[in-house]
Amino acid sequence: MSSAPGIRQTRAVAKARFGASVAFAIVGFLLAVWLVHIPAVQQATGISKAELGTTLLALGLGSLISMQAGGLLISRFGARMPLLAGHLLLAVTLLAPAFATDAVTLGIALFLFGLGNGLADVSMNAEAVEVERDRGKAIMSSMHAFFSIGTALGAAYGWLVQTVQLAVLPSFVIAAALAVGFAFVAMALLPKRGAEPDVTTSELLAVSRASGDSRPGKSTRTVPISQIVLLALLAFVLMLAEGVASDWSALHAVDVLGESEATGAIAYGAFAVSMTVARFMVDFVVRRFGSVAVVRFGSLISAVGLGIVVVSPAFWVALVGWTVFALGVAGVVPQIFTAAGNLPVKKRAVVLSRIVSAGYVGMLAGPAVVGWVAGFTDLSIALTVPLVLCLLGLVGASSVRAAAGGSSAKPTSGDAEGTAARPGS
């Protein structure tokens, strides 16, 4: 009988973890559905590639604005309801591009879609931080892996509806309906938390052990502004590097190595698959070696991977490079978000939203920066920019120490055993 509360707690945490996983997958699914329909929407509106590029900026702008508002909402109401609102807004506004008739109306539609994306993005990361704290061990990387699974499902759905030649609007309606249904499933699984609680010493100790930093620091009430700035900078530069693979891996194979477009697509496929698989494995590495080690060595491995791509004389060598890059960068950003969500500050959800926003700006800027540099030099040289930025992770890795300010990046055997014995692990 005495074990019943522990069993109930374990089940509740397991439900919350599954709910958070579904939340990440929903966002990835809806974004992928939009991405695979871009050519059809462009054709329907009759806009040029330049106009399309401008309208896509509206999506980013909407996301950044709602991320800031999302942080305030999460501090006031907790992450659960803002997350549902973000899911519903993202699903409903997915329909908007189907009604666009020109660049202006498409820009407005994508701005609204971005509002939903930003709110859902910061809310799901905030909820994942809470679930990770309840569980007492690292799970953030696997949450991000479910986002990748969602994008794969969205791409598969897009292929299916385009194969049967379903029009854009009914395709979006079906996808939105599926997303809304699963959004309510996720909400039902997530616990009601209410307003963001004050940070307690016991919570900070739990976070410290979960992230592999076993000794609490002297202060649990304040954190240097420099740590917040450094986390934001790391999110910016490392997500910038991560974003480069999405837009330039295939083009590198085609333009630099002379491969066909079909072969070039394999380069991004190798990156995406390796990233997803690695994110399911990173949490175990964090528990064993700590978050600081994951960021430090992950950044180094990422730089090595890009270095291989830059000097690759043949496609198979570049393929190895993109795979190595994915294995390195896979677990870095989740550790930054975990650290941001556990900083011992008031309204830490607001701080998290700022750092997520910084990373999002980097993701948007990365492909453009590489494109500008490539315009003056060549693509291989341009890829040295994200390579150098990855090396900044070596310098700034210590900023992701547990919010309690632990000084050890590697848990002791006693800590590891204690974590394994916690309910819900």
- Residue 343: which CATH number? 1.20.1250.20
Same domain? For 100 and 219 the reply is no
The number of angstroms, rounded, from the C-alpha of 328 to the middle of its chain's C-alpha atoms is: 15
Give the pLDDT of the chain (425 residues) as one tens digit per residue: 445 655 666 788 889 999 999 999 999 999 999 988 888 898 899 988 778 878 888 998 999 999 999 988 998 888 899 999 999 999 999 999 999 999 999 999 999 999 999 999 999 999 998 898 888 888 889 999 999 899 889 988 988 988 898 999 999 999 999 999 999 999 999 988 765 555 555 555 554 454 444 444 444 345 668 788 889 999 999 999 888 887 788 888 888 898 887 788 788 888 888 989 999 999 999 989 999 999 999 999 999 999 999 999 999 999 999 999 999 999 899 999 888 888 877 777 888 888 989 988 888 888 778 888 888 888 889 999 999 999 998 888 888 875 433 333 344 333 333 333 333 33
Please indicate, yes or no, if residue 103 is contained in any of the structural domains.
Answer: yes
| Residue 244 falls inside a structural domain | yes
Amino acid 215: pLDDT: 46
Contact assessment for residue 125 and residue 341, using Cβ atoms and an 8 Å cutoff? yes
Sequence-distant (≥ 6) Cβ neighbours of residue 69 within 8 angstroms:
119
Q: Indicate the burial class of 219 (C-beta count within 10 angstroms; 0-12, 13-18, 19 or more).
A: exposed
User: Are 57 and 42 within one domain?
Assistant: yes
259 and 157 assigned to the same domain: no
Q: Residues 329, 144: contact at Cβ < 8 Å?
A: no
Name the one residue in this structure whose structure tokens are 């604005």: 65
Q: Cα–Cα distance between 216 and 206 in angstroms, integer?
A: 10
pLDDT at residue 189 in the model: 93
The predicted pLDDT at position 379 comes to: 87
Burial class from Cβ neighbours inside 10 Å (0-12, 13-18, 19+) for residue 91 reads: buried
Q: How far apart are CA 256 and CA 250, in angstroms?
A: 10
188 belongs to a structural domain: yes
Residues 376 and 329 in one domain: yes
In this structure, are 206 and 192 located in the same domain?
A: no
Q: Are residues 130 and 213 in the same domain?
A: no
- The last residue of a domain, from among 197, 217, 232: 197
Number of domains in the chain: 2
Q: Specify whether 217 is located in the same domain as 190.
A: no
Sequence letter at residue 315: F
Q: Are 283 and 337 in contact (CB under 8 A)?
A: no
pLDDT value for 346 = 74
Domain annotation covers residue 425: no
Q: What beta strand segments (E) does 191-279 contain?
A: none
Residues 310 and 257 reside in one and the same domain: yes
Tell me which residue range forms the domain holding 70: 4-197
412 inside domain? yes
CA–CA dist 322, 387 (Å, integer):
12
Q: 191 and 206: one domain? A: no
pLDDT of residue 412: 37
The answer to whether position 144 is within a domain reads yes
Per DSSP, which regions of 238-317 are E strands?
none
Q: What is the DSSP letter of 399?
A: G
Report the SS3 class of residue 332: helix
Query: Of 324, 87, 322, nearest to 190 (Cα)?
Result: 87
Chain centroid to Cα 334, Å, comes to 7
Give kind and range of the element (H or E) at residue 173: helix 168-189
SS3 at position 408: coil
**pTM of the complete model:** 0.78
* Other residues' Cβ atoms within 10 Å of the Cβ of residue 120: 31
Q: Which helix (H) or strand (E) holds 123?
A: helix 103-135
Answer yes or no: do 322 and 174 share one domain. Answer: no
* 161, 212: one domain: no
Q: Distance from CA of residue 243 to its chain's centroid?
A: 11
Q: Which two tokens stand for residue 80?
A: 């659960």
Domain end point (choices 197, 232, 254): 197
Residue with the two structure tokens 């995406």: 272
Q: Which of 197, 228, 257 is the last residue of a domain?
A: 197
Q: Is residue 282 one of the residues assigned to a domain? A: yes
Let me know whether 55 and 93 are in one domain: yes
- DSSP category for residue 139: -
Q: Are 204 and 136 in contact (CB under 8 A)?
A: no
- Render 38-68 in DSSP notation, one character per residue: HHHHHHHHT--HHHHHHHHHHHHHHHHHHHH
